[in-house]
Amino acid sequence: MTSVHFTARVRLARSAPTRQRASVPTPPGEAACARAEDVYRLYFHGPAYQVIDRAWREGPGAAALLRGDLPPNHDPATLPLLASPRLIEACFQVAGLWEMAQNGRLALPEGIESVSLFLPLEEATGWLFALATPDPAGKSFGATVVDASGRVLVRMRGYRTVALPGALDAERAAPLRAAFGAATRG
């Protein structure tokens, strides 16, 4: 039996992409954030993919401070990677936190229009942040991972999700709703 988890088209360029910059969010005080333990009571990720330290509402979307103390991504850890899968996962998770807080649903990836890689993880400086903003129609997200100096590492466009069946546990989701505030969609 064969399982296909995803298909994609990869477009390589002859030269490195032009570096991009973005605003760096300023985390609110810890009391105004959902903490890692709040996030991973809802998500089912193992330690290597528990990438969020804390998360909060940022304008019309969500932001998260990423953890810097993660265990190795793969074994042996010295094998090279072209992309950093945990940064892409951070985009998924921060968009998912927004959906849980605003729509009361747990969702998984359904599709992505594009992922662009601008800066290798090894060249990032300081803390890393993931930001996700829903499009005006609420059908997809744009997401970015940026370092403390405002350099973009990853940009994702057109990220769509599909809801898991069943209700989100209201008690477990309460810290998210508190950190992200009331729904603003009308």
Rounded mean pLDDT for each run of 10 residues along the chain, 186 residues in total: 77 84 93 95 94 96 95 88 91 96 92 94 95 94 98 97 92 93 49
Runs of H (alpha helix) within the chain: 36-42, 85-103, 170-180
Domains and CATH numbers, the chain: 30-73+81-180 (3.10.129.120)
d(CA 5, CA 177): 31
d(CA 173, CA 57): 14
Report the number of secondary-structure helices (H) and strands (E) in the chain: 3, 8
pLDDT at 186: 33
pLDDT at 182: 55
d(CA 79, CA 33): 35
Three-state secondary structure call for residue 58: strand
pLDDT at 7: 81
Tokens for 91? Answer: 């985009």
Q: How far apart are the first and last CA of the chain?
A: 45
pLDDT at 11: 81
d(CA 16, CA 13): 7
Three-state secondary structure call for residue 65: strand
